Structure 1
Amino acid sequence: MAYEISSQNCMSRWQGSQRRIGLTGGIGSGKSSVGAYLAQKGLLVLDADEFSRSALTSNALLTSEVVAHFGTAIQNPDASINRRVLGKLIFQDLSARRWLEQRIHPIVLEQFENNLGRLLPKATVVLMIPLLFEAGMEGLCSEIWLVSCKFEQQLERLIQRDKLTYGEARARIASQWPIVSKHCLADAVISNIDTPGCWQKQVDRLLSLKLAN
């Protein structure tokens, strides 16, 4: 069951007329499935991961900086960045991950602001941001929905979906704040613990609610 939308966190939220739903959750929690469901319902979904991928492929300055920092071992034969190799490096080294995040997060934030600025004043939009709290992007959102599941479910999904080893999966989960620690920071918590698709009714209910600014 989803928690009711609360006004307790409004002070850290965007106060404009657009309904900006911040969608977040731990890796493997099911937030991408929720995002796809919202897109099927006709909502515009802006994806931080897509902005990050685009930055690593189309931002020449960032690409050259990343290669200079991590070395040519992270490059494919065509000189593009091998995200899987880069991922293994940064999830094994906290300082390396923070170095990369410090360069990518401002680019992602700029992309969000540019896209949001082109929308109508009364638009409803979903901002899918895995590291929403970690990156301090709460102020972009008028309300924040957190997709929650058990640690064991995250592990299983990562191992099956991304073909990671047990150790690699644990390292990726550990790179984010624990989901349970984010419950009190979100305006609504969507439980993805029970049967597949159990979250759909929760999402439908939350869509029918509106957080008063």
Structure 2
Amino acid sequence: MTRPLRIGLTGGIGSGKSTVAAMLAELGAEVIDADAIARGVTASGGAAIEAIRQAFGPQVIDDHGALDRARMRALVFADPQARARLEAIVHPLVRAEIDRRVAASAADTVVLDLPLLVESAAWRQRCDQVWVVDCAPETQIERVMARNGWPREQVQAVLAAQADRATRLAAADVVIDNDAGTDLATLRGRVARAWAARRMPLS
């Protein structure tokens, strides 16, 4: 069986990456969501829980035996070394599950929904193409404030922890523009055109 085309889809918080992933699924892609897998391995009984408990203590595990995501989020934003320790536990498990799903896929094209694609060479090497959903940082801030009810400073802290816009664009084979003023019909058209051209040689 021919291996599926592997598209790595990424974009900063508030870029609309999840919306684009859903559109690609409608077009026939098998979408593999790295965040969903990460939530699975950090849920109660998940493969990462005991290692996280050993590394960070029981205070980061909630009453149901799952990762206390709010507490861990605060910890990793305050301490880059804590972020690195958490990623060293979670990312190998997520990569192994992604590899398993790609190997088992019967789809022509698999989309790997990878928020940290640009930040990690291990993710990049799993992709034939990198697609970036792009918008201005101010657009990201306004969308997340409206969606999550977060204060501006909290959104800015998340943005600061992610790859910046220039770095993502430099890594992109395909850019999906989703800046302010883009309606769903326009975005859907851009996604459909990129999908139709996905097997054409990249310029």
TM-score by length of 2: 0.88
Using the alignment, how far apart are the partners of 2:64 and 2:9 within structure 1?
A: 34
How many angstroms apart in 2 are the aligned matches of 1:46 and 1:53? 13
- Say whether 1:81 aligns with 2:67: yes
Asked whether 1:132 is paired with 2:117, we answer yes
In terms of mean alpha carbon deviation, does 184-193 or 60-69 score higher? Answer: 60-69
2:38 corresponds in structure 1 to: 52
Please say if residues 105 and 135 of structure 1, whose CA atoms lie closer than 8 Å, have aligned partners that are also in contact: no
2-structure distance, mates of 1:195, 1:204: 15
Partner letter of residue 203 of structure 1?
V
Aligned to 1:206: 194
Structure 1 outlier segments of 4+, above 4 Å: 58-61
SS in 1 for 2:182: coil
Aligned residue runs from structure 1 range 43-192, under 5 A = 43-57=29-43, 60=46, 62-120=48-106, 123-136=108-121, 137-192=123-178
Q: Name the CA distance, whole Å, in 2 between partners of 1:188 and 1:60.
A: 35
Give the superposition deviation at 1:55.
1.1
Deviation of residue 84 (structure 1)? 2.0
Once residues 157 and 39 of structure 1 are traced to their aligned partners in structure 2, the CA distance between those partners, rounded to angstroms, is: 23
AA partner of residue 200 (structure 1): R
Q: Which runs of 5+ in 2 are unaligned?
A: none
**Against the structure 1 CA distance between its residues 61 and 34, is the aligned structure 2 distance closer, same or farther, given a 3 Å change threshold?**
closer
Give the RMSD, CA atoms, in angstroms: 2.0
1:23 corresponds, among 1, 4, 9, to: 9
Give the match for residue 11 of structure 1: none
Structure 2: distance between partners of 1:128 and 1:188: 14
Aligned residues: 197
Secondary structure of the equivalent of 2:32?
Answer: strand
**1:163 shift after superposition:** 2.8
Alpha-carbon deviations, 1:113-164, whole Å to 9, x = none?
10011123x7211111010121211221111110001111111222222332
Aligned residue number for residue 32 of structure 1: 18
Unmatched 5+ residue regions in structure 1? Answer: 1-15
Match of residue 195 from structure 1 = 182
- 1:87-107 CA-to-partner distances (Å, cap 9, x unmatched) read 122122211111111221111
Alpha-carbon distance between aligned partners in 2 of 1:165 and 1:154, rounded to the nearest angstrom: 13
Select the structure with the greater relative contact order (CA < 8 A; seq sep ≥ 6): 1
92 and 161 in structure 1: CA distance in 2 versus 1, 3 angstrom threshold: farther
Q: Percent identity?
A: 33
What one-letter code is carried by the residue in structure 2 that aligns with 1:23? L
Q: Quick one: distance in 2 between partners of 1:60 and 1:176?
A: 26
Q: CA deviation at 1:62?
A: 2.1
Counterpart contact for 1:92–1:171, Cα < 8 Å = no
- Show CA shifts across 1:24-69 (max 9, x none): 1111111001011112233210001011111112665521221233
Distance 2:176 2:96 in 1: 28
Counterparts of 1:61 and 1:140 in 2: how far apart (Å)?
22
SS in 2 for 1:141: coil
